[in-house]
């Protein structure tokens, strides 16, 4: 593994040593409903992930068998901290392969399906949505997210991702082609974004992706609402490294307006 960039913020409040991890687990996993792991080694890996030690978390697993936390660590690192485009693409491909292997081994592993969809979605954004659609990723991402929501309708992050899927498709190919070819619609996007907000009202990413989706779907017509969503996310408290990076991203969006 090449040297990864360090998490750039103070980690004291997000270390979750000892029993603190279990005590805060529901808050940390309000978005993905990941069950608390019984294995001590896996608990420690999640501690590393939540603290922003993504390189350490990415190495968890036995030879030939990866874990949800490892795939997630790779994707989150690539999304927020990797600066090189080519490296980022390779990392998303690695996370996709790991999650795909996991979900093929256990078809009821909800977050294996979700991590595949997440990595594939970020991969698509990295190489261009149009190119990814030509490679067949539109149907792959939608199918994975549908599986997640069938197994767990209250999976907030999957609802957010499904909203983003509909918004990205319509933005790139238009409403008619989006609906006929990919089953995408503005109404479905809004429905999923709203559900995610209802499920996780204190989630920065639910607000940020909703704002991004509104701008993709409606442009400046929804700028005021998008700005309010960014502002709300920017004022939130980050419970772990990913949320802290999300909040930083929301602040950056407000500065760019």
pLDDT value for 257: 64
Distance, CA of 75 to CA of 122 (rounded, Å): 8
Q: What is the pTM of this model?
A: 0.94
Band (129; pLDDT cuts 50, 70, 90): confident
pLDDT tens profile 16-27: 999 999 999 999
pLDDT value for 138: 87
Let me know if domain 12-188 sits in CATH 3.30.379.
Answer: no
Distance, CA of 128 to CA of 205 (rounded, Å): 21
Distance, CA of 8 to CA of 113 (rounded, Å): 29
Distance, CA of 11 to CA of 24 (rounded, Å): 16
Mean pLDDT, all residues of the chain: 94
pLDDT above 70 (res 39) = yes
- Say how many residues make up the chain: 257
Distance, CA of 66 to CA of 57 (rounded, Å): 11
Q: Is 68 exposed, middle or buried (0-12, 13-18, 19+ CB in 10 A)?
A: buried
Band (229; pLDDT cuts 50, 70, 90): very high
Residues 56-70 have a mean pLDDT of 77
pLDDT above 70 (res 30) = yes
Distance, CA of 59 to CA of 55 (rounded, Å): 7
pLDDT tens profile 91-119: 999 999 999 999 999 999 999 999 999 99
Q: Where are the alpha helices (DSSP H) in the chain?
A: 20-28, 40-50, 54-58, 68-80, 85-105, 110-127, 129-134, 137-151, 156-173, 175-182, 186-199, 204-218, 223-234, 241-256
pLDDT tens profile 157-173: 999 999 999 999 999 88
Integer-rounded Cα radius of gyration of the chain: 17
φ, ψ for residue 65, nearest 5 deg: -140, 120
Q: What DSSP character marks residue 240?
A: S
Given a contact cutoff of 8 angstroms between Cβ atoms, the answer to whether 157 and 114 are in contact is: yes
Percent of the chain with pLDDT over 70: 97
Distance, CA of 238 to CA of 164 (rounded, Å): 22
Band (177; pLDDT cuts 50, 70, 90): confident
Residues 131-140 have a mean pLDDT of 89
Distance, CA of 82 to CA of 165 (rounded, Å): 23
Q: Where are the domains of the chain?
A: 12-188
Distances, alpha carbon 121 to alpha carbons 37, 92, 231, in Å:
26, 9, 25
pLDDT value for 181: 86
- Partners of residue 65 on adjacent β-strands: 62
Residues 124-151 have a mean pLDDT of 92
Distant-in-sequence, close-in-space partners of 132: CB < 8 Å, separation ≥ 6: 120, 123, 124, 125, 138
């Amino acid at each position: 593994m090449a040297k990864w960039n360090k998490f750039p913020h103070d980690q004291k409040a997000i270390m979750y040593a000892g029993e603190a991890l279990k005590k805060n687990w529901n808050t940390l996993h309000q978005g993905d409903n990941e069950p608390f792991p019984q294995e001590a080694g896996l608990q420690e890996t999640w501690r590393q992930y939540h603290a922003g030690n993504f390189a350490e978390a990415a190495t968890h697993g036995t030879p030939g068998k990866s874990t949800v936390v490892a795939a997630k660590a790779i994707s989150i690192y690539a999304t927020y901290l990797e600066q090189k485009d080519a490296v980022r693409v390779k990392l998303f491909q690695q996370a996709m392969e790991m999650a795909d292997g996991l979900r093929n081994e256990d078809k009821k592993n909800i977050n294996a399906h979700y991590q595949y969809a997440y990595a594939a979605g970020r991969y698509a954004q990295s190489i261009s949505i149009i190119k990814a659609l030509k490679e067949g990723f539109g149907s792959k991402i939608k199918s994975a997210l549908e599986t997640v929501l069938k197994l767990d309708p209250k999976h907030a992050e999957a609802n957010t991702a499904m909203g983003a899927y509909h918004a990205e498709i319509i933005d790139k190919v238009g409403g008619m082609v989006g609906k006929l070819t990919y089953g995408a619609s503005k109404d479905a996007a809004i429905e999923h974004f709203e559900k995610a907000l209802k499920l996780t009202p204190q989630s920065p990413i639910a607000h940020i992706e909703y704002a991004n989706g509104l701008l993709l779907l409606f442009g400046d017509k929804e700028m005021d609402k998008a700005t309010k969503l960014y502002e709300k996310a920017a004022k939130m408290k980050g419970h772990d490294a990913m949320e802290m990076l999300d909040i930083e991203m929301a602040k950056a969006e407000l500065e760019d307006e």
